[in-house]
Protein backbone atom coordinates (compact mmCIF):
# COMPACT_ATOMS: atom_id res chain seq x y z
CA UNK A 1 0.00 0.00 0.00
CA UNK A 2 1.32 3.42 -0.99
CA UNK A 3 1.45 6.51 1.19
CA UNK A 4 -0.89 8.96 -0.56
CA UNK A 5 0.08 12.60 -0.01
CA UNK A 6 -1.81 15.57 -1.41
CA UNK A 7 0.17 18.80 -1.88
CA UNK A 8 -2.22 21.68 -1.28
CA UNK A 9 -2.23 25.39 -0.36
CA UNK A 10 -5.41 27.33 -0.96
CA UNK A 11 -3.59 30.23 -2.62
CA UNK A 12 -2.32 29.71 -6.15
CA UNK A 13 1.27 30.01 -7.29
CA UNK A 14 2.92 29.20 -3.96
CA UNK A 15 4.87 26.20 -5.29
CA UNK A 16 2.67 23.09 -5.04
CA UNK A 17 3.65 21.74 -8.46
CA UNK A 18 7.32 22.57 -7.89
CA UNK A 19 7.27 20.73 -4.57
CA UNK A 20 5.38 17.77 -6.01
CA UNK A 21 7.90 17.30 -8.83
CA UNK A 22 11.04 17.81 -6.73
CA UNK A 23 9.87 15.82 -3.74
CA UNK A 24 8.86 13.01 -6.10
CA UNK A 25 12.30 13.06 -7.65
CA UNK A 26 14.09 12.92 -4.27
CA UNK A 27 11.91 10.10 -2.93
CA UNK A 28 12.47 8.13 -6.14
CA UNK A 29 16.21 8.76 -5.96
CA UNK A 30 16.30 6.61 -2.81
CA UNK A 31 14.62 3.78 -4.74
CA UNK A 32 11.05 4.33 -3.59
CA UNK A 33 8.54 3.77 -6.38
CA UNK A 34 6.81 7.14 -6.73
CA UNK A 35 3.88 8.30 -8.86
CA UNK A 36 3.14 12.00 -9.17
CA UNK A 37 -0.42 12.63 -10.14
CA UNK A 38 -1.72 15.89 -11.57
CA UNK A 39 -5.36 16.50 -10.64
CA UNK A 40 -5.24 20.19 -11.57
CA UNK A 41 -7.61 19.21 -14.38
CA UNK A 42 -7.81 21.74 -17.23
CA UNK A 43 -4.93 23.88 -15.87
CA UNK A 44 -2.38 21.12 -15.37
CA UNK A 45 1.34 21.86 -15.65
CA UNK A 46 3.12 19.08 -13.75
CA UNK A 47 3.91 17.53 -17.17
CA UNK A 48 5.63 20.78 -18.25
CA UNK A 49 7.61 21.11 -14.99
CA UNK A 50 8.81 17.53 -15.44
CA UNK A 51 9.54 17.98 -19.15
CA UNK A 52 7.33 15.12 -20.39
CA UNK A 53 4.49 16.97 -22.14
CA UNK A 54 5.69 15.75 -25.57
CA UNK A 55 5.51 12.12 -24.40
CA UNK A 56 1.87 12.09 -23.33
CA UNK A 57 -0.28 9.60 -25.20
CA UNK A 58 -2.98 8.91 -22.60
CA UNK A 59 -3.97 10.85 -19.49
CA UNK A 60 -5.93 10.30 -16.28
CA UNK A 61 -9.25 11.00 -18.04
CA UNK A 62 -8.51 8.30 -20.64
CA UNK A 63 -7.97 5.88 -17.73
CA UNK A 64 -11.21 6.93 -16.03
CA UNK A 65 -13.24 6.73 -19.25
CA UNK A 66 -11.79 3.33 -20.18
CA UNK A 67 -9.78 4.30 -23.29
CA UNK A 68 -6.59 2.82 -21.83
CA UNK A 69 -5.24 0.82 -18.94
CA UNK A 70 -3.60 2.72 -16.09
CA UNK A 71 -0.12 1.40 -16.90
CA UNK A 72 -0.42 2.69 -20.50
CA UNK A 73 -0.86 6.26 -19.23
CA UNK A 74 2.08 6.24 -16.81
CA UNK A 75 5.22 8.00 -18.08
CA UNK A 76 8.62 7.23 -16.61
CA UNK A 77 10.76 10.23 -15.60
CA UNK A 78 13.78 11.05 -17.79
CA UNK A 79 16.27 10.91 -14.92
CA UNK A 80 14.76 8.89 -12.07
CA UNK A 81 13.74 5.36 -13.13
CA UNK A 82 11.62 4.90 -9.97
CA UNK A 83 9.55 8.01 -10.73
CA UNK A 84 6.39 7.95 -12.88
CA UNK A 85 3.94 10.69 -13.84
CA UNK A 86 0.24 10.20 -14.47
CA UNK A 87 -0.60 13.28 -16.55
CA UNK A 88 -3.79 15.29 -16.40
CA UNK A 89 -5.64 16.78 -19.34
CA UNK A 90 -6.23 20.23 -20.82
CA UNK A 91 -9.71 19.16 -21.86
CA UNK A 92 -12.47 21.25 -20.31
CA UNK A 93 -15.23 18.63 -20.52
CA UNK A 94 -13.30 16.79 -17.80
CA UNK A 95 -14.80 19.01 -15.11
CA UNK A 96 -17.48 16.28 -14.85
CA UNK A 97 -14.92 13.90 -13.32
CA UNK A 98 -15.91 13.02 -9.75
CA UNK A 99 -13.82 12.59 -6.61
CA UNK A 100 -14.79 8.90 -6.53
CA UNK A 101 -13.39 8.39 -10.03
CA UNK A 102 -10.08 10.01 -9.03
CA UNK A 103 -10.06 7.89 -5.87
CA UNK A 104 -10.45 4.66 -7.82
CA UNK A 105 -7.40 5.62 -9.94
CA UNK A 106 -5.38 6.45 -6.81
CA UNK A 107 -6.44 3.18 -5.15
CA UNK A 108 -5.31 1.22 -8.22
CA UNK A 109 -1.95 3.07 -8.23
CA UNK A 110 -1.61 2.30 -4.54
CA UNK A 111 -0.85 -1.38 -5.21
CA UNK A 112 2.02 -0.48 -7.60
CA UNK A 113 3.79 2.40 -5.81
CA UNK A 114 5.32 3.27 -2.43
CA UNK A 115 4.35 6.96 -2.63
CA UNK A 116 1.63 8.77 -4.57
CA UNK A 117 1.99 12.56 -4.62
CA UNK A 118 -1.18 14.36 -5.68
CA UNK A 119 -0.74 17.86 -7.10
CA UNK A 120 -3.81 19.78 -5.94
CA UNK A 121 -5.28 22.76 -7.82
CA UNK A 122 -5.40 26.19 -6.16
CA UNK A 123 -8.57 27.18 -4.32
CA UNK A 124 -10.92 25.28 -2.06
CA UNK A 125 -13.68 24.32 -4.47
CA UNK A 126 -14.46 21.13 -6.38
CA UNK A 127 -10.90 20.52 -7.63
CA UNK A 128 -9.51 20.78 -4.11
CA UNK A 129 -12.02 18.28 -2.72
CA UNK A 130 -11.41 15.90 -5.65
CA UNK A 131 -7.68 15.92 -4.82
CA UNK A 132 -7.94 15.64 -1.02
CA UNK A 133 -10.59 12.91 -1.04
CA UNK A 134 -8.11 10.34 -2.40
CA UNK A 135 -5.28 11.17 0.00
CA UNK A 136 -4.35 9.77 3.39
CA UNK A 137 -1.86 12.55 4.25
CA UNK A 138 -1.58 16.22 3.31
CA UNK A 139 1.26 18.69 2.89
CA UNK A 140 0.06 22.28 3.21
CA UNK A 141 2.30 24.75 1.38
CA UNK A 142 2.58 28.42 2.24
CA UNK A 143 5.00 31.18 1.42
CA UNK A 144 5.99 33.75 4.08
CA UNK A 145 3.39 36.18 2.70
CA UNK A 146 0.28 37.01 4.73
CA UNK A 147 -2.20 36.21 1.92
CA UNK A 148 -0.71 32.73 1.46
CA UNK A 149 -0.63 32.13 5.22
CA UNK A 150 -4.31 33.08 5.56
CA UNK A 151 -5.36 30.75 2.74
CA UNK A 152 -3.21 27.92 4.08
CA UNK A 153 -4.87 28.35 7.51
CA UNK A 154 -8.30 28.02 5.87
CA UNK A 155 -7.11 24.88 4.13
CA UNK A 156 -5.90 23.43 7.43
CA UNK A 157 -9.38 24.02 8.89
CA UNK A 158 -11.01 22.26 5.96
CA UNK A 159 -8.52 19.38 6.10
CA UNK A 160 -9.50 18.77 9.72
CA UNK A 161 -12.94 17.72 8.43
CA UNK A 162 -11.31 14.92 6.42
CA UNK A 163 -10.15 11.68 7.99
CA UNK A 164 -6.50 12.23 7.12
CA UNK A 165 -3.76 10.34 8.87
CA UNK A 166 -1.65 13.52 9.09
CA UNK A 167 -1.28 17.01 7.67
CA UNK A 168 1.97 18.93 7.85
CA UNK A 169 3.36 22.31 6.81
CA UNK A 170 6.01 23.32 4.26
CA UNK A 171 7.16 26.94 3.92
CA UNK A 172 8.33 27.75 0.40
CA UNK A 173 10.25 30.75 -0.98
CA UNK A 174 11.88 31.56 2.38
CA UNK A 175 14.43 34.40 2.15
CA UNK A 176 17.07 33.94 4.86
CA UNK A 177 18.40 37.47 4.30
CA UNK A 178 15.01 39.15 4.75
CA UNK A 179 14.12 36.91 7.69
CA UNK A 180 17.39 37.68 9.48
CA UNK A 181 16.78 41.42 8.94
CA UNK A 182 13.20 41.09 10.30
CA UNK A 183 11.89 42.21 6.91
CA UNK A 184 9.95 38.98 6.37
CA UNK A 185 8.08 36.80 8.88
CA UNK A 186 10.56 34.26 10.24
CA UNK A 187 10.14 30.50 9.99
CA UNK A 188 9.32 30.39 13.72
CA UNK A 189 6.75 33.21 13.40
CA UNK A 190 5.01 31.40 10.53
CA UNK A 191 5.16 28.01 12.19
CA UNK A 192 3.63 29.48 15.38
CA UNK A 193 0.60 30.63 13.37
CA UNK A 194 -0.23 27.00 12.56
CA UNK A 195 -1.16 24.10 14.82
CA UNK A 196 0.45 21.62 12.48
CA UNK A 197 3.98 20.26 12.35
CA UNK A 198 6.52 22.06 10.13
CA UNK A 199 8.43 19.50 8.03
CA UNK A 200 10.16 21.63 5.42
CA UNK A 201 11.47 25.06 4.53
CA UNK A 202 12.38 25.57 0.88
CA UNK A 203 14.39 28.74 0.21
CA UNK A 204 13.83 31.13 -2.66
CA UNK A 205 16.30 29.89 -5.26
CA UNK A 206 16.78 30.87 -8.93
CA UNK A 207 17.91 27.30 -9.61
CA UNK A 208 14.24 26.30 -9.41
CA UNK A 209 13.37 28.40 -12.48
CA UNK A 210 16.52 27.22 -14.27
CA UNK A 211 15.59 23.56 -13.63
CA UNK A 212 11.99 24.27 -14.70
CA UNK A 213 13.20 25.64 -18.04
CA UNK A 214 14.99 22.32 -18.64
CA UNK A 215 12.02 20.26 -17.38
CA UNK A 216 14.23 18.71 -14.70
CA UNK A 217 14.38 18.42 -10.93
CA UNK A 218 16.60 20.91 -9.14
CA UNK A 219 20.27 20.02 -8.58
CA UNK A 220 20.43 18.40 -5.09
CA UNK A 221 23.64 20.33 -4.34
CA UNK A 222 21.91 23.72 -4.71
CA UNK A 223 20.36 25.53 -1.72
CA UNK A 224 16.76 24.55 -2.54
CA UNK A 225 18.00 21.14 -3.70
CA UNK A 226 19.42 20.43 -0.22
CA UNK A 227 16.09 21.52 1.28
CA UNK A 228 14.27 18.98 -0.91
CA UNK A 229 16.69 16.23 0.17
CA UNK A 230 15.88 17.09 3.81
CA UNK A 231 12.13 17.29 3.15
CA UNK A 232 12.15 13.85 1.48
CA UNK A 233 14.06 12.42 4.47
CA UNK A 234 11.57 14.00 6.87
CA UNK A 235 8.72 12.35 4.98
CA UNK A 236 10.43 8.96 4.80
CA UNK A 237 11.43 8.87 8.46
CA UNK A 238 8.62 11.01 9.97
CA UNK A 239 11.16 13.54 11.26
CA UNK A 240 11.11 17.34 11.18
CA UNK A 241 14.71 18.54 10.75
CA UNK A 242 14.83 22.06 9.33
CA UNK A 243 17.92 23.77 7.97
CA UNK A 244 18.43 27.25 9.43
CA UNK A 245 18.51 29.57 6.42
CA UNK A 246 19.10 32.66 8.54
CA UNK A 247 22.41 31.58 10.00
CA UNK A 248 24.47 32.82 7.03
CA UNK A 249 22.90 36.26 7.44
CA UNK A 250 23.56 36.78 11.16
CA UNK A 251 26.35 38.88 12.72
CA UNK A 252 28.54 41.48 11.00
CA UNK A 253 29.41 39.25 8.04
CA UNK A 254 25.76 38.30 7.66
CA UNK A 255 24.78 41.99 7.74
CA UNK A 256 27.25 42.71 4.89
CA UNK A 257 25.90 39.72 2.91
CA UNK A 258 22.34 41.01 3.38
CA UNK A 259 23.29 44.47 2.14
CA UNK A 260 25.09 43.02 -0.90
CA UNK A 261 22.12 40.77 -1.73
CA UNK A 262 19.71 43.73 -1.50
CA UNK A 263 21.86 45.79 -3.87
CA UNK A 264 22.35 43.19 -6.58
Ligand X SMILES: Nc1ncnc2c1ncn2[C@@H]1O[C@H](COP(=O)(O)OP(=O)(O)OP(=O)(O)O)[C@@H](O)[C@H]1O
> Least Å distance between CB 7 and ligand X?
8
Which of 12/81 has CB closer to ligand X? 12
What is the pairing mode between strands 83-86 and 34-38? parallel
Residue spans of beta strands (DSSP E) within 92-214: 115-119, 137-142, 166-174, 198-203
> Least Å distance between CB 239 and ligand X?
21
Q: Which one of ligand X, Mg ion, none interacts with residue 81, CB within 5 to 8 A by kind?
A: none
Q: By CB under 5 A, is residue 17 in contact with Mg ion?
A: yes
| Close Cβ partners of 221 (under 8 Å, ≥ 6 residues apart) | none
Q: Which one of Mg ion, ligand X, none interacts with residue 172, CB within 5 to 8 A by kind?
A: ligand X
Angle between helices 126-133 and 99-110 (to 10 degrees): 30
Footprint of ligand X (CB under 6 A) = 9, 12-18, 40, 122, 172-173, 202, 204-205, 208-209, 212, 224
Which of 17/134 has CB closer to Mg ion? 17
Closest CA to 158 of 202, 118, 120: 120
Q: Which one of Mg ion, ligand X, none interacts with residue 230, CB within 5 to 8 A by kind?
A: none
Q: Which one of ligand X, Mg ion, none interacts with residue 251, CB within 5 to 8 A by kind?
A: none
Which ranges constitute the DSSP H helices of the chain?
Answer: 16-29, 46-49, 60-64, 70-73, 99-110, 126-133, 146-159, 176-180, 187-192, 206-214, 223-237, 251-263
- What is the per-residue binding string for Mg ion in 128-147, x denoting contact by CB under 5 A? --------------------
| Calpha distance 219→238 (Å, rounded) | 24
How many chain residues interact with Mg ion (CB under 5 A)? 2
> Least Å distance between CB 248 and ligand X?
17
Amino acid sequence: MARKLVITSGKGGVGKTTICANLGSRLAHTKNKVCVLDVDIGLNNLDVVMGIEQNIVYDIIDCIEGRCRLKQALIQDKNEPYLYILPSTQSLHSSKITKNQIKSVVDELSSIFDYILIDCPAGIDLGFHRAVFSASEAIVVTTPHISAIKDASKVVDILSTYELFSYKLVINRARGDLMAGNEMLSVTDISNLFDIELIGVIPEDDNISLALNKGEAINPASLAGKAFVQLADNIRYNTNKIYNYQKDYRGILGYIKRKIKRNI
